[in-house]
Amino acid sequence: MGNGRVVLVASTFALLLAATASAQQPFNITAPVTSLATLFTDLYGPQGLVLDSQATLPNEQPHYAHYNSDFQQDFGQFSTALVSQLVSVPLPSPVGGFTYEFDATLGVFQRTTRSFGPILADRAETVGAGRVSVGFTFQRFTFDTVEGMDLDRIPVVFTHDNAALLGGREDVVTTLNSIQADVSQSTAFVTLGVTDRFDISLAVPFVSTHLKVVSTATIHRLGTTNPLTHFFRQSDGTVGDSRTFTAVGDASGIGDLMIRAKTQLYRGATNGVAVGLDARLPTGDEMNLLGTGAAGLQPFAIWSASFEKVAPHLNVAYRWNGSSMLAGNPALGESAPFPPQLAYAAGVDISANTRLTVTFDLLGRYVFDAERLTPETFHALDNRSEFPNIVFASDSFNNLSGAVGFKANLVQRLLIETNLLFALDDNGLRDKITPLVGLEYTF
């Protein structure tokens, strides 16, 4: 590859990164939130959900009633689910749409495939010795549900300290929580063909995260009748049985870098096999949900074939993750490992004509021993009252998505790509439809 081409490649990639960095915005706090990772634990203030009480009987002392729930501690796991989902969504394939092999008999490079390849999966072909592919993609996630529950209506019950002592401690507080979680991810990537069968790639994501929770709390007097035993003090000084708490935060910055090495083990007339390794570097700010805060390794294997216009492919990978505060307790600074995952994909890309490839994929991941949220019915101590609630438990689950998209050759070796990723189940934190747009050029 000539010096001029090297300079052009470096300049193009530098411009992609510069355009990404220029979009960076400072972390904006519109509520008393320490960081996005602790937004749920910060929601009700440093002491948690506390109700006021006045002395209403002789010798009674006014007190602050502390109410407890898994929401403040365990629902901080929502932050973990958010980041885990983000880094688990497959990045666009770094392999160029144009792949080449040097033909020694003719002394020239020949294209090895008719299609431009998949978008969110990968194929066994490599870009070719001395070839470079650069690209830029944008994805927008607007999460809708968690374990099938609408994020706009998550119920959580709070109980009084030492509720088993009964009396006024039987009062409970129910909350209805609206959670908004939006993530934009722009990714610049470059792939260099070291040999005809060996590639190295670098993906640099830039992440913008918006997280907001609005919690409406209501006191249920199951053990008291006096409105001054437990109450919320309003902003105008009056007292009442309900109050709304809001916490919101935004953060933008570089996410976790991904480095890939891939080698083609077998190359036949119509199919091939490749293996490789993805290494994730914890360069994103985990406390503001821009990265995991943990290194990760993901070995993978790929089979793909090409039959005239139809090119099927199969991918399988296993991800090991290091420890991060996001998987532990961010509020206390305690770390734990993210659960390992088995990822898989099966799909086909079809060469509609010389300038258009249509792609179809089924993408899945099996997550081992993850923290999962489950709806339940809370039974109050009065043995009469019931309220909807959530609990957390460790369990493995499978996550399945579909994808459809296309790659179009505009001019020379410039490709434009679009894709829609859509959920096929309710397991975990889900975005119903995730759009993607991107550009790719091979030198």
Segment 321-347, tens digit of pLDDT: 899 888 777 767 788 888 899 999 999
294: closest CA among 283, 302, 303, 304? 283
| pLDDT, tens only, 173-195 | 899 999 998 999 999 999 999 99
At residue 22, does pLDDT exceed 70? no
CB 390 within 8 A of CB 156: yes
CB 48 within 8 A of CB 66: yes
Residue 163 confidence class, pLDDT cut points 50, 70, 90: confident
Q: What is the DSSP string of 160-214?
A: ETTGGG-GGGG-EEEEEEEEEEEEEEEEEEEEEEEETTEEEEEEEEEEEEEEEEE
Of 358 and 269, which is predicted with more confidence?
A: 358
Per-domain residue ranges for the chain? 3-442
Residue 57 confidence class, pLDDT cut points 50, 70, 90: very low
Residue 38 confidence class, pLDDT cut points 50, 70, 90: confident
Residue 113 confidence class, pLDDT cut points 50, 70, 90: low
- What local confidence, expressed as pLDDT, does residue 51 receive? 74
Residue 80 confidence class, pLDDT cut points 50, 70, 90: low
At residue 255, does pLDDT exceed 50? yes
Of 21 and 371, which is predicted with more confidence?
A: 371
Q: Which of 135-139, 144-148, 221-225 has the lowest mean pLDDT?
A: 221-225
The amino acid present at 246, given as its one-letter code, is T
The amino acid present at 25, given as its one-letter code, is Q
* Residue-averaged pLDDT of the chain: 81
- What local confidence, expressed as pLDDT, does residue 394 receive? 85
CA distance 94 to 86: 18
Of 297 and 129, which is predicted with more confidence?
A: 297
CA distance 262 to 198: 6
CA distance 437 to 405: 10
Q: Which CATH number fits domain 3-442: 3.40.640.10, 3.40.50.720, 3.40.50.300, 2.40.160.40?
A: 2.40.160.40
CA distance 355 to 411: 9
Span 17-39, mean pLDDT?
51
Residue 148 confidence class, pLDDT cut points 50, 70, 90: very high
- What local confidence, expressed as pLDDT, does residue 280 receive? 93
- What local confidence, expressed as pLDDT, does residue 404 receive? 97
Which residues of 113-171 form beta strands (DSSP E)?
132-142, 145-146, 149-150, 154-160
At residue 137, does pLDDT exceed 90? yes
Residue 208 confidence class, pLDDT cut points 50, 70, 90: very high
CA distance 341 to 343: 6
- What local confidence, expressed as pLDDT, does residue 127 receive? 85
Of 321 and 107, which is predicted with more confidence?
A: 321
| pLDDT, tens only, 279-317 | 999 999 988 888 888 999 999 999 999 888 899 999 999
